[in-house]
């Protein structure tokens, strides 16, 4: 039996916890219905000074504080339910030494959606591959530059550490874990039970570019405004920020520190986001979409769009166009 611990973090997303428990309990039922022992022994873990009030809401599962919990083979970190991820991580710092110790003792740790920020704060992901909710990727990259972020990926695995993208990507990581511990047949049976498409490994086309603006760096804000106002004119980044009274090196350094990406990446993402909106909200011809997004070379546009979004512009329009 796999000793499995689910963290009841502060500001956890209850839907995330419910999905995790539902999938593992379903797998347990598959086994018990044929007289086999359940593969997962699930314990809800909380901070001792928090009490077990949260655990009491999830009846039927044993709960215990991490301070006295036995070693776990598999540890699960749910998503956060807040946009202020920095505050959520701060409120859950007491989990970090325990997570590090468990990992050093051989535990596997899986995080779901924005739960990756807590694992990132532990330092265990440094130098390793990870993903998170597509709209939280810029903040993640800024907070944890030593982590190899793969914003396009639905699921990642690197040295006993697992991460998933946002929302329904939770189910893809759960299937990945079920397959690893129980075999492919059970994973397929679980996928059919929950109607999950097992083949989706890309989440890029769900993303929406939402650059950081709640900062006090006037130089960066000025650069952002110039890009926002002039991206469709087809100029280079150098032309757009040439009037800003600072060296290019200083602008790039401060820009990346504040937004998590460089000015060139910001310009590209702004143009791609504009193209996505035109594809979905209008019936403009592809040539118009390309030109109105700031591109002049159709071949280059299609290449950049596919790399950023994970599908061609035509496929994106077909999938999301508003009739």
Residues 6+ apart with CB under 8 A from 309: 204, 205, 207, 272, 276, 316
With tokens 């689910």, the residue in question is: 6
Report pTM. Answer: 0.70
Buried b (16+ CB within 10 A) or exposed e, 46-63: bbeeeeeebbeebeeeeb
- At 157, the pLDDT band (50, 70, 90 cuts) reads very high
Residue 323, pLDDT above cutoff 90: no
| pLDDT tens per residue, range 212-226 | 787 889 999 999 999
Q: Are 44 and 71 in contact (CB under 8 A)?
A: no
Q: What is the largest CA-CA distance in the chain?
A: 73
DSSP string, 159-183: TTEEEE-STTHHHHHHHHHHHHHH-
- At 175, the pLDDT band (50, 70, 90 cuts) reads very high
- At 206, the pLDDT band (50, 70, 90 cuts) reads low
Would you say the C-alpha torsion 263, 266, 272, 273 has a positive or negative sign?
negative
What is the structure's pLDDT at 207?
A: 66
Q: Residue 289 CB: number of other CB atoms within 10 A?
A: 22
- Lowest mean per-residue pLDDT among 29-38, 48-57, 77-86, 134-143: 48-57
Helix, strand or coil, per DSSP, at residue 3: strand
Tokens of 144: 């944890």
Residue 197, pLDDT above cutoff 80: no
Q: Of 168 and 45, which is predicted with more confidence?
A: 45
Domains and CATH numbers, the chain: 2-205 (3.40.50.880), 218-320 (1.10.10.60)
| pLDDT tens per residue, range 76-135 | 999 999 889 999 999 999 999 999 999 999 999 999 999 999 999 999 999 999 999 988
Residue 52, pLDDT above cutoff 60: no
User: How many angstroms separate the Cα of 96 from the Cα of each of 90, 103, 112?
Assistant: 10, 11, 16
Beta bridge pairs of residue 157: 162
| pLDDT tens per residue, range 292-319 | 999 999 999 999 999 888 889 999 898 8
> DSSP class of residue 149?
E
Task: In whole angstroms, give the CA distance from residue 81 to residue 74.
Answer: 23
| pLDDT tens per residue, range 230-245 | 999 988 999 999 889 8
Q: What is the overall mean pLDDT for the chain?
A: 90
What is the structure's pLDDT at 19?
A: 94
| pLDDT tens per residue, range 265-277 | 999 999 999 999 9
- At 278, the pLDDT band (50, 70, 90 cuts) reads very high
Judging by beta carbons within 10 Å of its beta carbon (0-12, 13-18, 19+), is residue 214 exposed, middle or buried? exposed
Task: In whole angstroms, give the CA distance from residue 246 to residue 252.
Answer: 10
Task: In whole angstroms, give the CA distance from residue 53 to residue 47.
Answer: 11
Would you say the C-alpha torsion 175, 177, 178, 183 has a positive or negative sign?
positive
What is the structure's pLDDT at 277?
A: 92
What is the structure's pLDDT at 203?
A: 62
Residues 6+ apart with CB under 8 A from 37: 1, 31
What is the structure's pLDDT at 37?
A: 96
Q: Are 212 and 255 in contact (CB under 8 A)?
A: no
Residue 20, pLDDT above cutoff 70: yes
Q: Are 156 and 133 in contact (CB under 8 A)?
A: no
> DSSP class of residue 189?
H
- At 152, the pLDDT band (50, 70, 90 cuts) reads confident
């Amino acid at each position: 039996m796999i000793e499995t611990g689910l963290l009841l973090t502060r500001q956890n997303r209850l839907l995330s916890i419910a999905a995790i428990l539902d999938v593992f309990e379903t797998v347990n039922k598959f086994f018990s219905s044929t007289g086999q022992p359940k593969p997962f022994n699930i314990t809800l873990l909380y901070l001792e000074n928090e009490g077990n009030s949260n655990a009491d809401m999830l009846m039927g599962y044993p709960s215990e504080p991490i301070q006295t919990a036995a070693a776990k083979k598999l540890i699960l970190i749910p998503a956060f339910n807040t946009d202020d991820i920095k505050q959520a991580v701060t409120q859950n710092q007491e989990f970090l030494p325990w997570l590090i110790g468990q990992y050093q003792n051989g535990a596997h740790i899986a995080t779901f959606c924005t739960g990756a920020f807590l694992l990132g704060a532990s330092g265990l992901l440094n130098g390793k591959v990870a993903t998170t909710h597509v709209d939280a990727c810029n903040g993640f990259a800024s907070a944890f530059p030593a982590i190899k972020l793969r914003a396009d990926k639905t699921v990642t695995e690197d040295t006993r550490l697992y991460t998933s993208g946002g929302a329904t990507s939770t189910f893809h990581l759960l299937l990945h874990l079920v397959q690893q511990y129980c075999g492919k047949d059970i994973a397929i049976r679980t996928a059919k039970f929950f109607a999950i498409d097992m083949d989706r490994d890309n989440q890029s086309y769900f993303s929406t570019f939402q650059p950081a603006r709640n900062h006090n760096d006037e130089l960066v804000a000025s650069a952002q405004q110039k890009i926002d106002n002039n991206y469709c004119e087809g100029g280079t980044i150098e032309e757009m920020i040439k009037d800003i009274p600072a060296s290019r090196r200083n602008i790039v350094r401060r820009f990346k520190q504040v937004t998590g990406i460089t000015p060139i990446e910001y310009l590209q993402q702004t143009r791609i986001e504009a193209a996505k909106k035109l594809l979905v909200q209008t019936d403009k011809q592809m040539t118009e979409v390309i030109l109105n997004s700031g591109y002049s070379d159709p071949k280059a546009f299609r290449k950049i769009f596919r790399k950023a979004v994970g599908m061609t512009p035509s496929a994106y329009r077909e999938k999301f166009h508003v009739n």
